[in-house]
Amino acid sequence: MNRTKQKIFKVSLFSVIILITLWFVKDFNLSWVEVKNNYAEITINFLFPMNKDKLSECIQLTNDLPYATDFDYSLHWLNNSVVSIKLKEQSSIKGQNIQLIVKKAPSQYPFIFKNANINVQFKSDVALLKPNKYLLIATDQPFDIQFNTPMDKNKINKFLECDATFYIEPQKMINDAGKEIEDPCSFKFTPKTPLNNGQKYILSFRKGMPSRSGSLLKQDTSVILTTDIKPIVVSTYPEPNSKWIGLYPRLIAETDSKTAGGSVRIGGKTIIGTYLDPYHIAFLLPEVLDSDTHYEAIFEVYSASGEKSEPKTTSFNTVRLDENRLWLEVLIKNEPKVNVYRGKKIIKTLSCSIGNDAYLPPLGTYYTQDKGEVLVDSRNREGANFWIKVSDTCLLQGVIRDAYWNIKPEFLNQFGSQIKHPNIILKDEDIRWLYQNITSDTMVIIHH
């Protein structure tokens, strides 16, 4: 029994010695790091003669900031076992904490590979990257402050001076593993109470503010904050108390100053606007409105700083649809088609082709302006039977024909699809029916 125990002990001891030896051979090295003004020098003694030419292929660098991964390093061998690595931060972000990883670096002995994991804490004087000196802000919206080095978020407030007070939170970012983490260089400053419009505030960071690496801000640094003027919605389409508005109107907000965007709330839904020009924001509805119905629309716009206007409310009534009134709905999503309505009832569904990309028909409510039996495009040497003008840039027309009035093969079987042509193309028998049955000022709604 004692012999069995002794044997087990010897085997266990031998196994431990083997494991320690393997660890020593593979992972034990002597290393030291010296951080200079703008670089770090890492010296590694692998304790075994190394394959010098292969080391660079075995080096990895990891850091916490996915947008600041620009590093440069050079190798200098002091002897066969000892290497000096000069490592520099190349991006505008300095003072990071870096892991220099050596993985399976081959030695000069077969089957002996070396690993190393060395922490490098760079240092950098603290400075502001953004903004430089001046910043236009909204009175109640957050703004960004970016430092050149990772900061201790709990220390910033202690070194901050301003007539206003702010909530300070790190910005969020996604790391290489796809996980949301805090950005130690970028912070969101949100006023605790709304500021005054058109007023200057001095945001000062006092000398001595520390970074994560322990470096300090060497002198007081200030940013002049100017709060924006509140934009005003001076007019809307539809105007208040409008009547007979089409079922798919293009809502528009006009402002007294330059804006960057806006929204409108209507029918319980919020719609984000499309930027037309600095003074006009347009809104396209997600669906057609009901006929003969009262609607209330609440407009709100914002400037480039994020300063929001006061809500502007307008109300309107949509057009009444007589039971015998003909009107058209052009659907441009999936398989394009034209629905012909009599009052609220669809009486025909016509397959069509529409333009794609730059040729997409203009969305909105239109009224037919003119029509004809023959369309001739002399510039492109083509034409069509029958046409109906919907807008200045779009027609309903028959299938496209060449100069000899033969149907162009590329347009023969394109119904229900998108093509490179600005007009809405229908079969000849369908456009003929429309030509014969609809009058001028027929409502045409084009939407997704």
What are the tens digits of pLDDT across the range 375-421?
Answer: 998 888 999 999 999 999 899 999 999 999 999 888 778 888 888 88
Same domain? For 29 and 95 the reply is yes
Indicate whether 276 and 331 sit together in one domain.
no
CATH of residue 136's domain is: 2.60.40.3710
- Among 301, 318, 335, the domain-final residue is 318
- What's residue 17's pLDDT? 47
Six-digit token string for 268? 């319980």
Do 117 and 137 belong together in one domain? no
Three-state DSSP class for residue 47: coil
**Among candidate residues 121, 155, 182, the one where a domain is terminated:** 121
Render the burial of 116-142: b for 16+ CB within 10 Å, e for the rest.
bebebebbbebbbeebeeebbbbbebb
Q: Could you report the per-residue pLDDT of 10-42, keeping only the tens digit for each? A: 545 455 444 444 444 556 789 999 998 889 999
* 98 lies in the same domain as 182: no
What's the structural domain count of the chain?
4
pLDDT value of residue 12:
54
* 314 shares its domain with 330: no
Domain of residue 391, CATH code: 2.40.440.10
Which residue do the tokens 């505030």 mark? Answer: 201
Within 10 angstroms of residue 88's Cβ, the number of other Cβ atoms is 15
- Are residues 237 and 188 located together in one domain of the fold? no
208 and 239 housed in the same domain: no
- Please tell me whether residues 423 and 394 are part of one structural domain: yes
276 plus 335 within the same structural domain: no
**pTM of structure:** 0.74
> 239, 237, 229, 251: which is closest to 309 by C-alpha?
229
pLDDT lower than 70: segments of the chain: 1-27
**Among candidates 81, 97, 78, which has minimal Cα distance to 89?**
97
pLDDT given for residue 7 in this prediction: 58
Same domain, 175 and 114: no
What pLDDT, on a 0 to 100 scale, did the predictor assign at position 23? 45
Residue 334 and residue 425 in one domain: yes
Q: What tens digit of pLDDT does each residue of 166-180 get?
A: 999 999 999 888 899
Q: Which domain holds residue 222?
A: 128-227
Same domain, 304 and 365: no
**What is the number of alpha carbons within 13 Å of residue 333 lying toward its C-beta?**
4
Query: Domain ends where: 259, 292, 318?
Result: 318
What pLDDT does 297 receive?
Answer: 98
pLDDT recorded at residue 26: 53
